[in-house]
A and B are shown apart, each in its own frame.
Chain A
Amino acid sequence: MAGKQTRTGRPTGLRLFRNLNAKVAAVPMVLTTLVVFVGGTLWTVLYSFTNSKLLPRMQFVGLDQYKRLWSNDLWNAAIWNLAFYGVMSLVFTIVMGFVLAVLLDQKIRFEDTFRTIMLYPFALSFIVTGLVWQWILNPEMGIQEVVRRMGFETFTFDPLHNPSTVLYGLLIAGLWQGTGFTMCLMLAGLRGIDEDIWKAARVDGIPKWKTYVYVVIPMMRPVFVTTLVIVAAGIIKLYDLVVAQTSGGPGNASQVPAMYVYRYMFTAQNLGQGFAASTMMLLSVLIVLIPWAYLEFGGKKHG
């Protein structure tokens, strides 16, 4: 230990070595943040101003990559798709997660079974999720065909091959994979609420739904905020699911920014363009995170 010997006087120089073990233990974290997250990000931002192709090189072209990015229909489509998917996914994940948690919180029988059923998709990767839902939504063999065989000859349910519905197809799969986890968080939140609240509400004769809406939900604000941030972070990273389920198609109807980044960095061998797109994604992350960080850490210092 650093403080083995009793020191006399003001050990200004030795202060650095106090709790040396703690500092040594923090080295991996410090290196990761500085080298990978800060360094990597700055590196990416720096090279987004160059015309790097296959290999990074320092030939600055100013804002050219950004100009091209925002004049690219694919990028605009990707941003729009992500915004649409993101809003839908946020709303549905949170509403579904909460409703399911409320249902499970009704002192039901077989709670464990239901919970397991809802949570197990979370164990599967997006690749698997995308593949299986592509299969189920396949018009020749999936739901459409089964319903048709039941006699509804004109029944059409082919979301993945129609540009205007493909995002819903992704949503069905995304929600299947992720809502169980949201439900878990919500359930934990519900159970963190003091039971006396329920007693008080019953004594006051407040209907159950009103208690949820006006009492429980406001009390669960932190859980909602956390869930929101987790889901939002997942949405920005959306990639595997799209690749596995639609490959961005039909056309570019389900392209997302992460795909654009990957495609331009590696397929198009235009690193500068990929880095510019990355930087824009990073900016959007900050737009999501800064309000949250402000909400979370803004008011309470040395609390």
Chain B
Amino acid sequence: MVDAAIIITPPSVAVSAVQPRGAKPKARFSGSNIMLYGTLFVVSVYYLLPLWVMVMTSLKGMPEIRMGNIFAPPVEITFQPWVKAWSEACTGLNCDGLSRGFWNSVWITVPSVIISIIVASVNGYALVNWRFKGSEVFFTILIFGSFIPYQIMLYPIVILLRELGIYGTLYGLILVHTIFGMPILTLLFRNYFSSLPEELFKAARVDGAGFWRIYFQIMVPMSLPIFVVALILQITGIWNDFLFGVVFTKPETYPMTVQLNNIVNSVQGVKEYNVNMAATLLTGLVPLIIYFVSGKLFVRGIAAGAVKG
């Protein structure tokens, strides 16, 4: 995952932010319009090509793959690769495909997403409205932390989890995702909360609301767009995670990405590209669906505050 350090600022522009602002194009069939849509079309081909190849390949049989080209639609559609990828592909002795990994991924993703978002949003809120001595220092370190390559932290984390006695457990993995999601999400929430009018917070304090009441009754209801952005980022990020999944789980609890890697790399005889592509699509299905369904909310969430440095 790319680090999605989106920096969100005032929602005041939210309403207009989804409207195009650029200069108006001229007449419908003008030269510049043809250029515009032509360019967009070519760009779209670049973006869609891999998806097309994945879907088409996953629907072909192996003989057809060897004979035909990868861009051609299947002559004879077969769902066998999907069936195999889902429930039959082998890694070592386990021949139950991705199906097991799917539920493992769900069990890992759901609590990790929820906990990491709660922790990070409370962090952001505390950083904006309840500053304490040194809070900015911690925040700065946190931001620096978001740029540290994970490999560097891997060994210390192994030691940390061992000392806590939660290595190899779901708790351990949730903790890891919470820790590594914290910098970006905290930044996200901090910037969003700081864009909310400070006077609202003051008014609530005069009204006698405390830390948690302000958080739950004032801040959270006003922060839907940023929660959506955080939710989408975390679900895709954690679902797609490979490194932590492979290091901090064991075979029974491998997430889908690890099983995908196992299936793709367990070549037995020839590489079964169709099964690999089906497995790849199956693994990417959850984040893909989320983007296709709520992509607009995501874009809106980012636009809801425009971006600042």
Contact = CB atoms under 8 A, between A and B. Distances in A.
Answer yes or no: A and B touching, Cβ < 8 Å: yes
Contact of B132 (A26, A127, A142): A26
Contacts of B125: 25
Mostly helix, strand, loop or mixed at chain A's interface?
A: helix
A188 B151 contact: no
Contact of B5 (A118, A121, A229): A229
B9 to A, nearest CB: 8
Interface in B141-185: 141-142, 144-157, 159-160, 178-179, 182
Nearest to B43: A100
A29 B211 contact: no
Contacts of B151: 239, 258, 261-262, 265, 278
Interface string A91-119: 00000000010111111100110111111
Given A26-B123, A124-B287, A125-B242, A116 B20 contact: no
B92 interface: no
B240 A125 contact: yes
B206 interface: no
A124 B284 contact: yes
B212 to A, nearest CB: 6
Contact of B23 (A25, A106, A125): A106
A195 B21 contact: yes
B70 A146 contact: yes
A120 B47 contact: yes
Nearest to A191: B17
Interface in B114-142: 119, 122-123, 125-127, 130, 132, 135, 138-142
Contacts of A198: 21-23
Contacts of B261: 127
B178 to A, nearest CB: 8
Mostly helix, strand, loop or mixed at chain B's interface?
A: helix
Interface in A135-168: 135-136, 138, 141-142, 145-146, 149
B108 interface: no
Interface residues of A, number: 110
Contacts of B264: 131
A25 B44 CA distance: 45
A187 B13 CA distance: 13
Interface of A: 1, 19, 21-23, 25-26, 28-30, 32-33, 35-41, 43-44, 56, 100, 102-108, 111-112, 114-129, 131-133, 135-136, 138, 141-142, 145-146, 149, 176-178, 180-181, 184-185, 187-193, 195, 198, 202, 208, 211, 221-223, 225-227, 229-231, 233-234, 236-237, 239-240, 257-258, 261-262, 265, 271, 275, 278, 281-282, 285-286, 288-289, 293, 295-296
The 3 A-B pairs at the shortest CB distance, nearest first, are namely: A192-B306, A222-B309, A22-B130
